[in-house]
Amino acid sequence: MLAKRIIPCLDVKDGLVVKGIKFKNHKVIGDILFLAKNYSINGADELVFYDIAASADNKLLDKKWIYNISRLINIPFCVAGGIKSINDAALVLSLGADKISVNSPAIENPSLIYELSNHFGSQCVVIGIDVWFDKFDRKYFIYQYTGNEDKMISTKLNVFDWIKKVQDLGAGEIVLNMMNQDGICQGYDIKFLNKIENICNVPLIASGGAGKNEHFYTLFNETGVSGALAASVFHNNIISINKLKSFLLSKGINIRLC
């Protein structure tokens, strides 16, 4: 069985790492290179960088920091932000990223997933999906342009249909971002993740809700996800990655220690 992955998530805007709550009210956390190196040293299995304004502003992510990160850390990292073509992806990968992630551009042009997978291989094509649970309608809605509060919109996509489609088109991994849970540190949406697992045949990464060690344990113990994405608990030094991994190992979770 593959080891479960612990993946710090770094939202990037104007070259700095920021963090919001439920994808809103972002505040500056710190320097992207300092945080990347710190997480790499302290046990992260990989890193994910989202240039959160790129797609909403119809531009490719700021490329300046990608090469510097590739020279600084020795763990895999994934980059997202306005990647709309093979040329965009090739540039990002040439600068040192191991994977590219697409979200809003894939919603706009689903064939992009096939093009990227066919050209680079599915192993480096990640699809991000931002989901909001409407408590009144009791339905899950996929959102687009979530990096900009003013441009964020709800799509008409059915989340289960979309997950099936991106797999058919060649997605090698899916990151499911639960917007309701984001930044509030109250745990992952286990019930929903279990539903998604039933239709997901590629590695599934859970994002949104981590607040304490037990949340990671519950996630890995009660679902079959491949990894846990988290931000606030790491940015705010609530959880040490190495200590988290030791805790999970003591509870019988297959985790890789550094």
122-172 pLDDT, tens digit each: 999 999 999 998 888 788 999 999 877 778 899 989 999 999 999 999 999
Per the annotation, the verdict on 130 as an active-site residue is yes
Q: What is the value of pTM for the model shown?
A: 0.93
Beta-ladder partners of 48: 9, 78
d(CA 12, CA 20): 11
Per the annotation, the verdict on 11 as an active-site residue is yes
Q: Which of 11, 45, 88, 189 is catalytic?
A: 11
Q: Which of 45, 130, 182, 189 is catalytic?
A: 130
d(CA 194, CA 150): 32
User: For position 22, what pLDDT does the model report?
Assistant: 67
Taking the CA atoms of residue 76, residue 94, residue 89 and residue 235 in that order, the dihedral angle to the nearest 10 degrees is 40
Which one is predicted more confidently, 183 or 120? 120
d(CA 113, CA 169): 6
Question: If you average pLDDT over residues 84-99, what whole number do you get?
Answer: 96
Please name the helix (run of DSSP H) or strand (run of DSSP E) that holds residue 7, with its range, or none: strand 5-13
43-74 pLDDT, tens digit each: 999 999 998 877 676 777 778 889 999 999 99
